[in-house]
Amino acid sequence: MTSELSPIDKAKFVAAKQATEYVKSGMKVGLGTGSTAAWLVQCLGEMVRDEGLQIKGVPTSVRTAKLAREVGIEVITLDEARWLDVTIDGADEYDDDLNLIKGGGGAHLQEKIVATASDRMIVIADASKKVDTLGAFPLPVEVIPFGMGTTQALIEEMLIGMDVLGRTITQRMAGDTPFVSDEGNFIFDLHLKRIGEPRKLSLMLNQIPGVVDNGLFIDTCDMVIVGHSDGRVTVRDILNDATEEVRFNVLDDDNIFADVTD
């Protein structure tokens, strides 16, 4: 089965597999959205089925909730959980300070709410998501449908005074129709190329009427787990100022990877 996976999928898998080490029975776990988070949900589902892991999952999108139920994870709402032990999610970009851009899948609003309601947030990613400065990936901004043209104009005016390299704004589409979030909102993608002051930009965006929230996650992530296609996993814990490397032995059989070894 390993031979059927692309190098990027191998990297995502080992990052997700390592992240399961931080999930214990009895925990309430925020389940992210996206291709890397989907690997995590599948790994946790296997642990529920084969090892008797007992967790309650709070998904960050309709599609994550569907996958979680399919693999046997008990799904509850955030209101039912009230507070979570950990949220594990992917990222579209992260920098040295573990600031993130998220929302490539259009779920960043729920992802941010769930991550904020957790004792810790762990990001799982492949090495390509690491950047020196955020902004190469378009920044998603969720907006309500009413007056969205005015909202866009206000964003464009605000960007003039920001430390960014580009100011192009496009509405996200799903084929020939506008993309609609799980909350019924639209998404603007801001093609900024480089974001010099992500904290300031996030605050300014969220002050604009019509903006629900943006895809900048500032001071939210505590740990990043980076997978590599050769089975290496780098774990960086910003709270403890610690970095370690773990290795999975890649096998070309139905057991995608061997056990974790230090």
Which residues have C-beta within 8 Å of that of residue 20, sequence separation ≥ 6? 40, 43, 44, 47
DSSP per-residue string spanning 29-41: EEE--SHHHHHHH
Cα–Cα distance measured from residue 152 to residue 138, given in angstroms and rounded to the nearest whole number: 15
Which residues have C-beta within 8 Å of that of residue 206, sequence separation ≥ 6? 213, 214
Q: Are 134 and 198 in contact (CB under 8 A)?
A: yes
Active site residue 111: yes
Q: Does residue 77 sit in helix, strand or coil?
A: coil
Q: Are 88 and 31 in contact (CB under 8 A)?
A: yes
Q: Which of the residues 70, 111, 142, 183 is marked catalytic?
A: 111
Which residues are annotated as catalytic? 111
